Every structure is written in structure tokens, then in C-alpha cells.
Amino acid sequence: MLDIQGVCKAYGSGQARVEALANVDLSVGDGELLAILGSSGSGKTTLLNMMGGMDRPDSGRVLYEGRDIHAEGDRSMTRYRREVVGFVFQSFNLIGELTALENVRLTADKARPRSAEQALELVGLQDKCDSYPSQLSGGQQQRVSIARALAKRSRLLLCDEPTGALDYETGRQTLSILEGVARELGKTVVIVTHTQEVGRMADRTVWMRNGRITRTESNPSPLSARDISW
């Protein structure tokens, strides 16, 4: 589905130059649940931004279904971002002045009536449609942000430390929802995390260090999110 080939990205120049990604190759399969681990500053968010068309590589290519997402300029990148990718952030990124339902409707597929309501049902928040983010717990806010990604029918969910701001139990529930998104809805889910145990529910784990993928491990029998602990 997604093919990252020889991607390099550097920030700054001279003494301040940082090689955030150094010749990264990575293929992500359709419906795969992929975990990305690595210490702070190792390039995980930069890689996720490349996958999501949020940033442009200095060199190398990002292919979606065999097509270079940058080749046709900003418009093809914007279309890719809008139609294919859903982002889930550590900080939820909801709009405080809008209700849960309105937040999800912002990105929802206009061609499908009720797609926002259905997405909130999928994450078990049908009762919270009219609540504002400030009236929801952290875990509920994260579920709204997952619903937002689902309502726009993204095939690819890119999650940057989705449990980073949540307590243990709520974090596990969020992982369970993401697992269902991959296993039951068949979406491709990439989870950047500092929790090594997340790898046990993933199909594959990649480790990053200094802008490089240093190790990849496939997991032939992933556990359910309910069965992992840390």
C-alpha cells in the first residue's frame, strides 16, 4: 500500500543540521498494524509526517499504491492527505468550540449521510455527540479523534503517541479501539509509541535510532490489545 524508498530529511544547516531521516526504506501492507518505536528525537514523527504527506522528503520517494505522492505537486499531496490519511495525535487536536459530533463532521465524508454519527458509534461515543471536548475525559477525546479519522474513510491511520496523554487503563482501551480499526475495519494502522509492549499486538515493529530504521521484527501471532500489559 505504502512504499517509502530511500527517504532523507534534514533540518537546519551547518552545526545545527539534524538528519531526521537518513535513507529510510519501509513498506506498509494493506490492513497492517505497524508499531514504530525509538527514543526521543529518533525520527518517528518525521517518518509519520512523510507517510501522511505532511512533509516533503529531501530525497527519496513515498509511493501510495505505486504512485509518488509528491510527483504531481502540492495538489496531489493535498488530495492524498484528505482522502487517504487520518491522523491521531497525542494531544487529540479537537476544536474546543465544537461538539464531538461537529468535530467529526468537519472531516466526514459528505457523500454519506450519518457518517459522523456512525463513526462515533464505532468508538462507543454515540451518547456524547453533543458534548464539548472540555466535557469529555482524555480517553473519550482520543476516541472522538479516532472517529474523526474514520468518518472521512481514511484507509491509513497514522497515530503519533496516541496513548501518550492517557493513563494506563484508558491507554489500553484506546489501543483496543485502534486494534479493532485494523482487524475489523481492515484499515492500515501505524502507531508511534514509547511503549514496547504495543509491538506484541502489532503485525510488525520497527525500531528507529538517529533517523534510521535499525531493526524490524515481524510478529506472526499478534496478541489482542486486551492481553498486553506494561
Question: Which of 2, 4, 7, 20 lies at the binding interface for ligand ATP (CB under 6 A)?
Answer: 20
- Whole-Å CA distances, 198 to 38, 44, 116, 164: 12, 15, 28, 12
Specify the residue, 45 or 154, whose C-beta has the smaller distance to ligand ATP. 45
How far is the C-alpha of 111 from the C-alpha of 133, rounded, in Å?
26
Residue nearest to Mg ion (CB): 45
Question: Which of 24, 33, 36, 45 lies at the binding interface for Mg ion (CB under 5 A)?
Answer: 45
Question: Which of 1, 8, 18, 129 lies at the binding interface for ligand ATP (CB under 6 A)?
Answer: 18
Specify the residue, 24 or 202, whose C-beta has the smaller distance to ligand ATP. 24
Q: How far is the CB of 171 from ligand ATP (least distance, A)?
A: 16
**Backbone phi, psi, residue 65, to 5°:** 50, 40
160: enclosing H helix or E strand: strand 156-160
- In eight-state DSSP terms, residue 219 is -
Number of chain positions touching Mg ion (CB under 5 A) = 1
Q: What is the 3-state secondary structure (H, E, C) of 89-120?
A: ECCCCCCCCCCHHHHHHCCCCCCCCCHHHHHH
Number of chain positions touching ligand ATP (CB under 6 A) = 12
Footprint on this chain of ligand ATP (rule: CB under 6 A): 11-12, 18, 20, 38, 40-46
